[in-house]
A and B are shown apart, each in its own frame.
Chain A
Amino acid sequence: RKEVEQDPGPFNVPEGATVAFNCTYSNSASQSFFWYRQDCRKEPKLLMSVYSSGNEDGRFTAQLNRASQYISLLIRDSKLSDSATYLCVVRAGSYQLTFGKGTKLSVIP
């Protein structure tokens, strides 16, 4: 079983739609969780951390379920500029982060 698994997509959604991405992780000792965004041919950048209580940043909501080892990202009112690949990232040790392969989102006019 891969350490961090994501649906690769692509997700093609119209502007204004709500889209949800899911991620599962295998290491129960994982301590920190993140969503990164990667635009085409660019470097990954931190979108948001994921906390046990769930957290929101504008149109973006992240949820963590430690019992199920499951992380989600919800994007409301999708914009064209949200088109990117979204990477689920998990940290178990002090220094190493494990990246999922990413889910590609295309927001269509």
Chain B
Amino acid sequence: NAGVTQTPKFQVLKTGQSMTLQCAQDMNHNSMYWYRQDPGMGLRLIYYSASEGTTDKGEVPNGYNVSRLNKREFSLRLESAAPSQTSVYFCASLGVRLSTDTQYFGPGTRLTVL
């Protein structure tokens, strides 16, 4: 049981390049999330998917697109990367642990845009 996995772990892009961050969970969770974390800003929600086939914008969706490919996988795409998108990106899924809703996070992708 791997939990939430993310690829790649590190990435360097040039301004204007595109890339897709991959996320998968093997816990059969319905809801999945993408966050970015910047120094002094905390975790900010980019997009989430309450269930397979649905996606919704979070706090900072501009410059990103998402795809909920199936129940397991939720990808985040940067169509034209900008230096302001340099950040650590975390994928998460929502499940129940000891009767409590718990977000399980992947290990993160550290993205640098030059």
Contact = CB atoms under 8 A, between A and B. Distances in A.
Interface of A: 8, 32, 34, 42-46, 49, 87, 91, 94-97, 99-102
Contacts of A42: 107-108
A44 B92 CA distance: 10
Given A43-B90, A91-B101, A95-B48, A101 B42 contact: yes
A49 B96 CA distance: 12
Contacts of B100: 32, 34, 46, 49
A42 B107 CA distance: 6
B41 interface: yes
Given A43-B90, A44-B103, A101-B41, 17 more contacts: A8-B40, A42-B107, A42-B108, A43-B105, A43-B106, A43-B108, A44-B90, A45-B105, A46-B100, A46-B103, A49-B100, A87-B42, A91-B101, A95-B31, A97-B103, A99-B42, A102-B42
B21 to A, nearest CB: 14
A23 to B, nearest CB: 12
Interface in B6-23: none
Given A43-B106, A43-B108, A95 B50 contact: yes
Contacts of B103: 44, 46, 97
Interface in B67-113: 90, 94, 97, 100-103, 105-108
Nearest to A102: B42
Contact of B102 (A46, A94, A102): A46
Contacts of A102: 42
A39 B4 CA distance: 17
